[in-house]
C-alpha cells in the first residue's frame, strides 16, 4: 500500500487520494522518507469531527516531486513524535502542539512556538527558558524591544565569559492570526491577496506570488507567459534589492562604512525601479490572481536595463573591495558556522542552506511560473560561516541581474490577466516559491464546495531561526550582530 500521494508543485491533488495512515504507520513513513533523502516542507493540522488530521508534505528535490501523507489523532490527543529521528520536524510538532493540544510523545523539548512570553492569550503561562549551571555561567537577555528600528523578538544567551554556549530565541510578539484571517475572509479574494502581501513586508512578491499560484492552480488556469515573466522580473528585483541591503548592513556591522553607503545606494536604485514598474518600492499591487496588474513598457525595459548596468558595475566593485579587505574577512571568516550535516538535519533553506553546501533552490528543484521556461543554476559554498552567507548573496545578485536582463529582453507578447475559474472542491495544492530568504510554502485545502477550509503558510524563517541559534554556539557574543545579519530572518513571517 502506498504511504503517500506523489504530485508536483502547484498540482492540485484530491484530498481523498492522500493516504490516511495510523499514527504509528505515519511516523514510520516519515522516518523512512527522511532516510531516503526526502525533506519536510510542511506539517500542519486541520480539525475535523473525528479529531485532528495531520498532513505532512515532503519534497524529493532531485525528482521535482512532493509527497503527502496524513493521519488522524482522536480524543487521545497524542501521537508518537517524529522529531527524535527527524530533527527537522521539531518546530512543526511544537506548532501543532500549540495550535491543537496534540502531544507528540517523546518530543525532546515541547514548548510553545509563539505563546508563553508575548501575552497573546491572557491565560497563558510563561514558559521556562533553558538553563545552564556552572561557574561563571551567566545569561544575557536581548529584546524584545531593540535599540534599532527592527521587529520585536527575545534572545536569551547562556554564556561563559564572552563565549556563547546556547541561544534561545522566543518570538510571537507579532502574531496576527494570519492563517485564520485567510479562512475568515475566504470570500474576499482581493483582501486575501493584500493579506498575502503583508505576511512579510520585505517578501511581497514571494508571498503574493505563492498565494496567487495556489489560487490559480485550484482554479485550473495558467496566466499568460508575459505575466509570468513579469513576475519573475519582480521576484529577482526583490532578491537583488534585499541582498544589497543585507550586504550594506553586514558592512556597517564591521564598521566598513563606505561599503554600507555604496550597497545602500545601489539598493535604492533597485527598489526605485520596482516603484517605477508598479508604484510601490516593495512591489505591492503588482501581482494579481491570474497575472499581473502592470505591464513593462518599451520605455520601462530601457530604464530597467540602464539601472541594471549601473548596479551590476557598482556591486561588482563594492564586493571586490568588501571581500578583499583583510579586516572584513577577519570578522566574517569562521564566524557563525553551520556545518552541512547540521544544516541538513534542521532543514535550512535558501541562501543560508546554499552557504552550508545544500543545493536547494525551488526555482530549479520545483520550477514554477516563469521559472519553468529557463534553467536556474544552483550555486553553493561549503564553509557555512558569515563569509559564505554574505558571499552567496553577492553571487546571487550577479545571477539575478543576468536573469532579469535576459528575460526582459525576451519578454513575450500576451495578456496580463486571465480570470480564474471556480476552485476545485476537496483538493490540496502546495505552492512553493523561492523568495530571497528561501523556500516559501503555501498550502490550500478546499472543502466540498471549493471554499478554503485550511490555509497553511511557511516563511523560510520558520526553518532558519534555529539555524541562527546553532550558528552562534562557541562564538563570542560580540559576533552575534553579524551572525544575525547574515541570516536576516523575518519576525512577522515567523509569527504569522
Is-contact 358 344, C-beta < 8 A? yes
Is-contact 87 23, C-beta < 8 A? no
pTM, 2 dp: 0.95
pLDDT single digits (tens) 309-345: 999 999 999 999 999 999 999 999 999 999 999 999 9
β-partners of residue 458 are 441
Neighbours of 298 (CB within 10 A): 8
Is-contact 248 254, C-beta < 8 A? no
pLDDT computed for residue 120 by the predictor = 66
Question: Confidence class of residue 420 from pLDDT cuts 50, 70 and 90?
Answer: confident
Is-contact 104 93, C-beta < 8 A? yes
pLDDT single digits (tens) 353-410: 999 999 999 999 999 999 999 999 999 999 999 999 999 999 999 999 999 999 998 9
> What is the average pLDDT across 276-296?
96
Give phi and psi for 304, each to the nearest 5.
Answer: -65, -45
Is-contact 436 242, C-beta < 8 A? yes
pLDDT computed for residue 282 by the predictor = 96
Q: State percent of the chain over pLDDT 90.
A: 89
pLDDT computed for residue 118 by the predictor = 64
Higher pLDDT, 120 or 23: 23
Cα 484 to Cα 386: distance, rounded to the nearest angstrom = 9
**Strands 154-160 and 163-170: what pairing?**
antiparallel
Angle 68-73-74 (CA atoms, 0-180°, nearest 5)?
150
> What is the average pLDDT across 150-163?
92
**pLDDT surpasses 80 at 265:** yes
DSSP conformation class of 50: T
Distance of CA 359 to the CA centre of its chain: 16
CA distances 486 to 150, 318, 338, 483, 489, Å, are: 15, 17, 12, 5, 9
Neighbours of 50 (CB within 10 A): 10
**pLDDT surpasses 80 at 299:** yes
**pLDDT surpasses 90 at 5:** yes
**pLDDT surpasses 80 at 201:** yes
pLDDT single digits (tens) 97-148: 999 999 999 999 988 898 877 666 777 777 788 888 888 899 999 888 887 7
User: Which residue blocks in 128-224 are alpha helix, DSSP H?
Assistant: 178-184, 189-197, 204-218
**pLDDT surpasses 70 at 21:** yes
Mapped onto helix, strand or coil, the DSSP state of residue 6 is: strand
Task: Report DSSP letters for 291-314, one per residue.
Answer: EES----HHHHHHHHHHHHHHHHH
Q: Does 144 sit behind a cis peptide bond, omega within 30 degrees of 0 on the bond before it?
A: yes
Higher pLDDT, 308 or 111: 308
* The three grid cell numbers given for residue 407, joined into one nine-digit string: 528575460
pLDDT computed for residue 119 by the predictor = 67
Cα 353 to Cα 464: distance, rounded to the nearest angstrom = 9
Question: Confidence class of residue 150 from pLDDT cuts 50, 70 and 90?
Answer: confident
> What is the average pLDDT across 71-93?
95
Amino acid at each position: 500500500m502506498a504511504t503517500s500521494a506523489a504530485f508536483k508543485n502547484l498540482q492540485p491533488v484530491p484530498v481523498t487520494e492522500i493516504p490516511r495512515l495510523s499514527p504509528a504507520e505515519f511516523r514510520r513513513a516519515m522516518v523512512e522518507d527522511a532516510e531516503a533523502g526526502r525533506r519536510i516542507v510542511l506539517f500542519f493540522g486541520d480539525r475535523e469531527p473525528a479529531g485532528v488530521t495531520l498532513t505532512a508534505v515532503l519534497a524529493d528535490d532531485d525528482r521535482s516531486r512532493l509527497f503527502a501523507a496524513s493521519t488522524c489523532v482522536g480524543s487521545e490527543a497524542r501521537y508518537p513524535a517524529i522529531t527524535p529521528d527527524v530533527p527537522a520536524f521539531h518546530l512543526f510538532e511544537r506548532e501543532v502542539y500549540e495550535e491543537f493540544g496534540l502531544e507528540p510523545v517523546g518530543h525532546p523539548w515541547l514548548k510553545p512556538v509563539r505563546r508563553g512570553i508575548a501575552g497573546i492569550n491572557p491565560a497563558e503561562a510563561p514558559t521556562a527558558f533553558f538553563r545552564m549551571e556552572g561557574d561563571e555561567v551567566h545569561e544575557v537577555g536581548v529584546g524584545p524591544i531593540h535599540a534599532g528600528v527592527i521587529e520585536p523578538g527575545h534572545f536569551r544567551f547562556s554564556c561563559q565569559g564572552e563565549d556563547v554556549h546556547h541561544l534561545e530565541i522566543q518570538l510571537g510578539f507579532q502574531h496576527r492570526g494570519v492563517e485564520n484571517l485567510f479562512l475568515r475572509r475566504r470570500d474576499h479574494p482581493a483582501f486575501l491577496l493584500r493579506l498575502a502581501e503583508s505576511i512579510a513586508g520585505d517578501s511581497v512578491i514571494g508571498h503574493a506570488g505563492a498565494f496567487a499560484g495556489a489560487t490559480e492552480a485550484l482554479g485550473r488556469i495558467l496566466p499568460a507567459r508575459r505575466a509570468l515573466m513579469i513576475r519573475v522580473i519582480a521576484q529577482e528585483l526583490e532578491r537583488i534589492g534585499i541582498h544589497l541591503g543585507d550586504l550594506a548592513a553586514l558592512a556597517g556591522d564591521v564598521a566598513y562604512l563606505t561599503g554600507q553607503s555604496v550597497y545602500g545606494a545601489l539598493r535604492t536604485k533597485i527598489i526605485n525601479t520596482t516603484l517605477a514598474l508598479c508604484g510601490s518600492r516593495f512591489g505591492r499591487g503588482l501581482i494579481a490572481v491570474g497575472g499581473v496588474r502592470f505591464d513593462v513598457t518599451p520605455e520601462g525595459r530601457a530604464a530597467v536595463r540602464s539601472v541594471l548596468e549601473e548596479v551590476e558595475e557598482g556591486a561588482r566593485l563594492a564586493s571586490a573591495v568588501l571581500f578583499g579587505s583583510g579586516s572584513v574577512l577577519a570578522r566574517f571568516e569562521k564566524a557563525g558556522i553551520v556545518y552541512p550535516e547540521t544544516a541538513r538535519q534542521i532543514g535550512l533553506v535558501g541562501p543560508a542552506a546554499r552557504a552550508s553546501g545544500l543545493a536547494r533552490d525551488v526555482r530549479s528543484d520545483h520550477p514554477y511560473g516563469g521559472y519553468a521556461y529557463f534553467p536556474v543554476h544552483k550555486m553553493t559554498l561549503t564553509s557555512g560561516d558569515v563569509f559564505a552567507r554574505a558571499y552567496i548573496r553577492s553571487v546571487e545578485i550577479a545571477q539575478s541581474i543576468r536573469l532579469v536582463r535576459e528575460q526582459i529582453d525576451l519578454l513575450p507578447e500576451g495578456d496580463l490577466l486571465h480570470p480564474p475559474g471556480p476552485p476545485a472542491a476537496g483538493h490540496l495544492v502546495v505552492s512553493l516559491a523561492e523568495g530571497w530568504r528561501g523556500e516559501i510554502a503555501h498550502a490550500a485545502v478546499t472543502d466540498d464546495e471549493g471554499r478554503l477550509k485550511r490555509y497553511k503558510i511557511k516563511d523560510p524563517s520558520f526553518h532558519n531561526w534555529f539555524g541562527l541559534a546553532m550558528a552562534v554556539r562557541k562564538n563570542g557574543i560580540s559576533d552575534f550582530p553579524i551572525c544575525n545579519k547574515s541570516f536576516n530572518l523575518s519576525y512577522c513571517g515567523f509569527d504569522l
